[in-house]
Amino acid sequence: LSVSDYAAAQLRQYQRLTRQIKPDLEHYERLKEQCGDALYPTANSLLHGSHVPSKEGVDRMVADLEKQIEKREKYSRRRPYNDDADIDYINERNAKFNQKAERFYGKYTAEIKQNLERGTAV
């Protein structure tokens, strides 16, 4: 199953992550008893920013985020360094930028580069 665009990939990721979330029904029932009808806001209620998440909820979220980061780090691999390639960068970030620029604009700038190397550039 391939993804056609960024929005579709984002939706697929969101659905995958929300499937993993298990609701805490006991906590929900306690909140219903404490708050009553105020738990369900209406157009006239001013409850914005009043919710404080539980320590367990924050810990669950942190554990889930760490698991996502660990999985992402395993997925990405380090590319081998090519000693024969021309050095046209000043740091790793600039090297990535130059690779992307070359990938997209290399066919248009190849002649200019050759002229600069030969010294016949105008």
Residue 16 lies in a domain: yes
Q: How many domains does the chain have?
A: 2
pTM for the complete prediction? 0.49
Same domain, 32 and 92: no
Residues 63 and 16 in one domain: yes
Helix, strand, coil fractions of the chain, as percent rounded to 5: 65, 0, 35
20 & 71 share domain: yes
Average pLDDT of the chain to the nearest whole number: 85
- Name the band, by pLDDT with cuts 50, 70 and 90, for residue 87: confident
Higher pLDDT, 95 or 2: 95
**Residues 13-25 pLDDT 10s:** 999 989 988 888 9
81 within a domain of the structure (yes/no):
no
Domain housing 32: 6-42+53-75
Give tens-digit pLDDT for 27-50: 889 888 988 887 787 888 776 777
Beta carbons within 8 Å of 32's beta carbon, 6+ residues apart? 39
Indicate whether 48 belongs to any domain. Answer: no
